[in-house]
Amino acid sequence: MAEKIRADNLTFYYGNTPAIKKVSLSVKENTVLALIGPSGCGKSTFLRCVNRMNDIIPNTRMEGNLLIDGESVYGARYNVTGLRRRVGMVFQKSNPFPKSIFENIAYGLRINGIRDRYEIESTVEKSLKSTALWDEVKDRLAESAIGLSGGQQQRLCIARTIAVQPEVILMDEPASALDPISTQKIEELIQDLKKNYTIIIVTHNMQQAARVSDETAFFYLGDLIEVNSTEKMFTRPEMEMTENYITGKFG
């Protein structure tokens, strides 16, 4: 499989404090990479480096490099707006717009210059079908998205993300606030989405990482301790610290 994302000695500072230190890893196309580690270890900081969301935080800086399709996203001429179109993000807490279910998805399409009514309608339907939400909401598209359950809201946010056809999807603990049944639906959705997207997911849930990802990266205090195939990581990790974390001896 081709390499989609590569970090080279990536270090990110909040003020003078490095949140991640000299992180180097590669993510292959159409795979799922899970980022695990205790709170404050740098997982979400790394995730936000991929789509340059950290840029909006004052008094921060980055060293090293991050490339998508071999091109540095931190290059002087790189189009950050275009980057965020290519790299969608799903947050821990579902954040539907206070609009109708239909408009939650159509809004992003219109911002991207799509005006054709038929194209908008077909993309909304396709996106909702891709997230297994269509049959649940097709008769209430004009109703407010705020009325959906938490699990449905999160799947709507994923549908909204994929409607604008990104190449990469970043997920920051997308199921942490959901019940077990909704969590299972999100996990099944991730497995389905990787056919068309490259996915990086931050999770505190070891079992979830084991279920949904192809590769796993373990962060601790800003350091990337180990990155490996998920199967190897959870059965015979190379680093003792990884084994101690996965088996619950700390964290």
How confident is the model at residue 146, as a pLDDT?
96
pTM (predicted TM-score): 0.95
* 137: Cα separation from own chain's centroid: 24
Q: Which of 11, 17, 34 is nearest to 226 (CA)?
A: 34
Q: What is the pLDDT of residues 112-141, one digit of tens each?
A: 899 999 999 999 999 999 999 999 999 999
What six digits make up the tokens of 137?
Answer: 């909401």
How confident is the model at residue 251, as a pLDDT?
66
Q: What is the pLDDT of residues 70-90, one digit of tens each?
A: 999 999 889 998 999 999 999
Extract the runs of DSSP E, i.e. beta strands, from the chain. 3-14, 17-28, 32-36, 60-68, 71-72, 87-90, 168-172, 198-202, 215-220, 223-229
